[in-house]
Structure 1
């Protein structure tokens, strides 16, 4: 994942797929509720636009980003939702145009980044490849919320490999943000890709393994599904424990989505406050 070219191409493709879900929508459909309680389709796109702008600022003006990050982190429970509310209040055409402009500018900056460049973020500083992976992960996750709101069934793609990778890379962060000590033993993923091919991450021989569909793992680490509603099979006590709180994003620990048949949609977490800085693995 050190070469940013492939992930940047995939980020562009993932953004275009999310864009295709909302272009041409009526105002009523932009206002449709999503699985994230209190967030409409407009909130989801506004959040992507807001985070793309933050990433662009981090890549072009680190000092200005640091000032904004300090201000934002002073209000950790509100600043992401406030950003989404502000964007969602715009006319849909203006919101969509702003999102398109921001993401294209970010792609251009990351493509032009010199080898070895590192960019500040809300979690650890990241390379161009890691920042692009984080943006892809979030674009896919919020795109899933939009698709669910609109009743669209998306076909999973090989781009999920980036989401799976960052989900594993963020393992230690998921422990630390909960005040837990990460296990010393490495974990291994043995996933089935959308086309049926095996995807493996992590060393062989470890006792801590997660097996199952790549789509299920990606939905879990972006907290779009409860572990009980997946076909994932953990081997080892720590792997089992981790699946209960795994997250692919930096920022405070979130409660995740309730199991089907559990808490109602109104009780599900919002899409933003717990996801303010996705992609904490550098």
Structure 2
């Protein structure tokens, strides 16, 4: 049995870590471009707030969520970006009395929206009946799966923010949730890239932040992936290119997987260029921003 309360605690902790990272930043920092093309730090937080909002609708207002799905169908490739932009525009409007945007108030308003939204979502998911299935875009999810996905997204977008601000985060045991999703989405990764889903299993052996090993898949699998858990999580969330990571693939399926892995749903992600992680490291040491 999955402990939903523990998952919610981990989501709260992951969110709080990112919250601390941005809460006291000047308004200018919120406008900094992140490694995600076209997205500032404000867009990253707006995306999390928007996704929390539609997840709350899925958990508590089925008709409103169904309308969100119909709205998404009009722009399947861009509705996620559109959702973040619409929420950001809405928040900016609340910080624009008389038409003049208060640049200092806008980040505070966006942060407040994210905080209230994630708290409401946690309450709704905690109250979800045991065994319930929540509607999602093209599928259904258990409350536990929804929380796990929110942990993955919060960590991944938090990585973009940390990279932008030149902050090196200390990996936590919460990475196990991201790694778990990375393994579970192997089939989706191949399908999203138009490739045949492999029949055979892949063994994944990861070195956890505390030095222990996290293992997934049968021990006798011919195809294997091994390396640091942090590197695997950076790969499956497409925050680093595999060339910049200490992951070792054994077997053709494992090797191909590392080229297409993505723990998130939807179309293939653009990923990052080789060397981008090293460039970020050099900028951090030089005291400059990407």
- Tell me how far 1:79 sits from its aligned partner: 1.9
Is the contact made by 2:88 and 2:110 (CA closer than 8 Å) also made in structure 1? yes
Q: CA offset at residue 61 of structure 1?
A: 1.6
Structure 1 residues 162-171 or 86-95, which shifts more?
A: 86-95
What is the aligned partner in structure 2 of residue 113 from structure 1?
Answer: 128
How many angstroms apart in 1 are the aligned matches of 2:85 and 2:183? 31
Counterparts of 1:77 and 1:115, CA distance in 2: 33
Correspondences of 1:137-156 after superposition (within 5 Å): 137-156=152-171
How far the C-alpha of 1:261 sits from its partner, in A, is 6.2
RMSD, aligned α-carbons: 1.7
- Bigger CA drift: 54-63 or 77-86? 77-86
- The answer to whether the 8 A contact 1:190-1:212 is kept is yes
Are the equivalent residues in 2 in contact too, given 1:122–1:250 (CA < 8 A)?
A: no
The corresponding residue for 2:183 is: 168
State the match for 1:279 in structure 2: none
CA shift for structure 1 position 173: 1.0
Matches within 5 A, 1:179-218: 179-218=194-233
Deviations 1:209-235 (A, max 9, x none): 110000000001001000111100011
Between the two structures, name the one with larger relative contact order (CA 8 Å, sep ≥ 6): 1
The verdict on how the C-alpha distance between 1:245 and 1:80 changes in structure 2, with shifts beyond 3 A counting, is same
- TM-score for both structures, normalised by structure 1: 0.90
Instruction: Give the paired residue count.
Output: 264
Deviates more, 1:20-29 or 1:156-165: 20-29
Find the aligned partners of 1:124 and 1:83 in 2 and give their Cα distance: 19
1:109-134 CA deviation, whole Å, 9 max, x = no partner?
A: 11111110111112421111110000
**Cα 1:261/1:191, change in 2 over 3 Å:** closer
Q: What is the CA-CA distance between 1:38 and the residue it aligns to? A: 1.2
Inter-partner Cα distance in structure 1 for 2:27 and 2:200: 51
Deviation at 1:2, TM superposition (A): 2.6
Unaligned runs of 5+ in 1: 266-282
The question of whether the paired residues in 2 share the 8 Å contact of 1:123 and 1:251 is answered with no
CA 1:105 to 1:254, structure 2 compared with 1: closer, same or farther past 3 Å?
Answer: same
Contact 1:43 1:87 in 2 (8 A): no
Larger Rg: 2
| Alignment match, 2:30 | 30
Instruction: State whether residues 152 and 178 of structure 2, in contact with CA within 8 Å, keep that contact through their aligned partners in structure 1.
Output: yes
What is the deviation of 1:78? 2.3
- Write the distance in 1 (CA, Å) between the matches of 2:236 and 2:31: 27
Residues 219-230 of structure 1: pairs in structure 2 closer than 5 A = 219-230=234-245
Pick the aligned partner of 1:100 from 110, 115, 130: 115
